[in-house]
Chain A
């Protein structure tokens, strides 16, 4: 199992450009999440999904969009990149069924985005 795979690992964008951060998981997890982490700060939830076809906003959704057409994939789109979106983005997934151990959140390695 590859776990949670994010691409790209690094990206530099110009203000106003658009891009999509890809996230895929091979663990058949229903729940998937996108977080951003600014330097020296905690994780902030952008969007999450409890299953294919269902998405919901987190704490900081403005400037982002997501889709969940399959269980495996949960891409995050930035439509008009702004310097405030410079951050490290983490995708994560979990399976909430079963024992508490099954609630473990598995993260991807992160995507470091800089907007200039």
Chain B
């Protein structure tokens, strides 16, 4: 089993719709979780951290489910500009040096 797994997609979603995707992780000792966004041919950029209690930033909501070992990202009222690849990142408590990336979920918002 991979340390961090994501559905690669692509998710093709009409503008204005709500879309959600998950990221599962195998190490139960993982402590820190993040969602990054990567546009085509660009570097990944932090979208949001994922806190234990869940957190929201505008149209974006991130949640953590420790029991089932996954994090989720919900995008409401999707915009054309949301088209990108979304990467989840997990930092395990042990060592705290290496970050593990998922392979990313590609999202395309359709006009």
Contacts and interface: CB of A to CB of B under 8 A. Distances in A.
B43 A109 contact: yes
A1 interface: no
Contacts of B44: 43, 90, 105, 107
A104 B46 contact: yes
Nearest to A31: B97
A96 B96 contact: yes
B98 A48 contact: yes
A50 interface: yes
Contacts, number: 50
A56 B95 CA distance: 12
Nearest to A4: B43
A45 interface: yes
B99 to A, nearest CB: 6
A110 B43 contact: yes
A96 B92 CA distance: 12
B87 A43 contact: yes
Interface centre among B34, B45, B99 (most CB of A within 10 A): B99
6 contacts: A35-B101, A42-B101, A42-B103, A43-B44, A45-B98, A104-B49
Given A42-B87, A100-B32, A109-B43, 9 more contacts: A45-B98, A48-B97, A104-B46, A104-B49, A105-B34, A105-B89, A106-B46, A107-B45, A109-B42
